[in-house]
Structures are given as C-alpha cells and as structure tokens.
Amino acid sequence: MAMDTNKKDETQKPGTPAAVPDDVQQLTRWASEYGRPALIGLGLAVVILLGLTIWRNQQAEKAQAAVQALFEPRAPEEFQQMAFASPDAPTAPLALATAASEFYSLGRYDEALSAYQRFVSQYSTHMLAPEAEMGVAASLEALDDFVGAAERYEAFMAAHPGSPLVAQAVMGAARCREQIGQYEEARMLYEDYIAANPESTWLPQIESGLLFLEKAERARQAQAAAPAAEPEVVFDLGVDEVVLEEVEGVEPEADAMEEPVEAPMEGDAAEEAEAAPAAEAVDEVPAADVVGDSDAKESEEAVQEETPEESADVSGSEETAAGAPQEE
C-alpha cells in the first residue's frame, strides 16, 4: 500500500491543478455560452413584472377614483361623459346608468331614453341591463308613446319571466293599454299576473290597478250610454266686456216709447209741479226773444222819462187835429 501511494505521488507533478468534475465543466461551458442572454432575459422579466404591477396599481387607483366619483354630486352630463371617455372601464356601465336615471328624474325624458338605449346596446349582458330595458319603456311612457311603451313592457315580461321587475312591467303595460282605450287587454294583464302569482308581494298593487281599471271602464260605458250633453258656452271676457259696453250705451226702444206714469199730487206739490214746466219753458226761450223783450222794456222806460212839455205838445197837436175840419 505504501508502494502504491508513493507511485501516485510520483505521477502527480508539483504545481498542476486538481481535476475538475464533469458537471462543473458543463455548467461553466453553458454559462459561457448562454449566461449573458439568460441574465438579460431575467432582467427583462423583472422589469415587465414590475411594470405590470405598477400598471395594475394605477388601474386600481383609477377605478377607485371613478367609483368615488360616481357617489359625488354631479350633473348627468358629467356621468355620461365619464362613460363615453372610457367605455371599457369597469365603472362605465354604472356611470351611464346613473346618467340615464338622473335625466329621467329631471324630466329630460328624451335624453334619458337615449342613455338607456345606449346602455342596452353596449352592455346587454351587464347586471343592470334589465333595469335599462325598463328605463326605455318608462321613458317612452313619459313621452306619451303609449303603444311603444306597452310593447317594451310586454317584451320585458317575455324576456325576463323570473325577474322581480315583472310586476312593474305588468302594471306599466296595463296603464299604457288603458291610455289607448284597450281596456280588455289591460284587464287580461292584471288577471293573468294574479292567477300566476297568488303569493306575490306586488299583489295588492296589482289588485288596486285592476279595481281602478274597472271603475274607469264603467265610467266610460256610462258616458257612452248617456244622451249627448249640450255644448258648453265658452265666454271670451274681452269680447263680452265690449259687447256689454255697447249694450249699456243704447237705450231700449220700449223704454223710450213708454212715458212715465206719475202719481197724482195734492196741494203745494201740485202747484210746484205745474210751475215746473213754465220755468222750463222760460229757460228754453231763444236768445233772440230775450233780446226783444229787453228792447221793449227800454222803450217803455224812455216814454216814461219824457218831459211834461213834450207831453203837452203832443196833447195840443192831438186837439188841433181833432178840431180842424176834414177836407173833402
């Protein structure tokens, strides 16, 4: 044994390295050939993973901000713009549904109808799609399109027979049928729902709607059986006032022709009544007659003012004229 060890020691030259195992050699060769590309790929994978993480965090923050924005008081146009800006965002359907609801509550039924129809066309599989379909029907009913609304309500009933909104659709369709005079169809809608859902929580409302329908139908039948009423006289206040003024300005002929009958008067009252026409006659004397009377009075006064001599002359002349003989 000592001999073999010595031989091995003799075969190994001093300063030569020990033999490297084959596995280590293979790993070294692989690292020299593929080590750099592998490190580059690993670095890229890390960068991509970090980028995905950052992007997901940003999207989560945006989604959280969008959700918070939905609960803030905003105009319906702002909600609608949020839905249009990112139609693929998770909050876009909720924003559009909120805008449609706000439009309807504000009485802007045209815009509500457009928003609900857009929701149904873009998000037909969304959990809020049935509510949007009911919104379309309700908007049509608010716009007095009772035929279109009734068709939409009935289409919803056929498409969603198990939905909790079926009762509301039945009442909406019955209301619209009643508005267009289709009382029998409305009655069938109520009665079919009552028969199919005897334990529904909506049963009191359905029965109440049926009761009002029957009252309206009886009133319509009574009105049809009653004789035609005389047309109501509609007064135009402006024209009537003018006519009344004209009528008040014209005295009736009968009143003008009739003379007032006076009761007989006694004593001083009779004398005063007889003197009144004379006074009126004096008042009605023409101005020329008054002037003539004043001239006559003046001439009489002038005669009275004549001197005694002028009177004597006048009397003497009268006597001479009387004593002179008359010529043949």
140-172 pLDDT tens trace: 999 999 999 999 999 999 999 999 999 999 999
Instruction: Report yes or no on 283 lying in a domain.
Output: no
The proportion of the chain whose per-residue pLDDT surpasses 70, expressed as a percent, equals 51
Instruction: Report yes or no on 233 lying in a domain.
Output: no
Domain that holds residue 215: 144-225
Would you state the pLDDT for residue 244? Answer: 53
Better-predicted residue by pLDDT, 246 or 307: 246
Name the pTM for this structure: 0.52
Would you state the pLDDT for residue 40? Answer: 73
Instruction: Report yes or no on 166 lying in a domain.
Output: yes
Instruction: Report yes or no on 183 lying in a domain.
Output: yes
Would you state the pLDDT for residue 136? Answer: 97
Mean pLDDT of the chain: 73
Would you state the pLDDT for residue 51? Answer: 72
Better-predicted residue by pLDDT, 91 or 55: 91
Would you state the pLDDT for residue 226? Answer: 72
Would you state the pLDDT for residue 300? Answer: 52
Instruction: Report yes or no on 188 lying in a domain.
Output: yes
Would you state the pLDDT for residue 109? Answer: 96
Structural domain count of the chain: 1
Would you state the pLDDT for residue 158? Answer: 95
Reported as a single tens digit per residue, the pLDDT across 218-236 is 888 888 887 655 556 555 5
Given a cut of 90, whether residue 202 has pLDDT beyond it is: yes
CA count, 13 A, side-chain hemisphere, 108: 14
Reported as a single tens digit per residue, the pLDDT across 120-146 is 999 999 999 999 999 999 999 999 999
Would you state the pLDDT for residue 61? Answer: 60
Given a cut of 50, whether residue 89 has pLDDT beyond it is: yes
Instruction: Report yes or no on 266 lying in a domain.
Output: no
Better-predicted residue by pLDDT, 44 or 247: 44
Given a cut of 60, whether residue 299 has pLDDT beyond it is: no
Instruction: Report yes or no on 204 lying in a domain.
Output: yes
Instruction: Report yes or no on 234 lying in a domain.
Output: no
- What average pLDDT does range 271-298 have in this prediction? 48
User: Could you tell me the pLDDT band of residue 212, with boundaries at 50, 70 and 90?
Assistant: very high
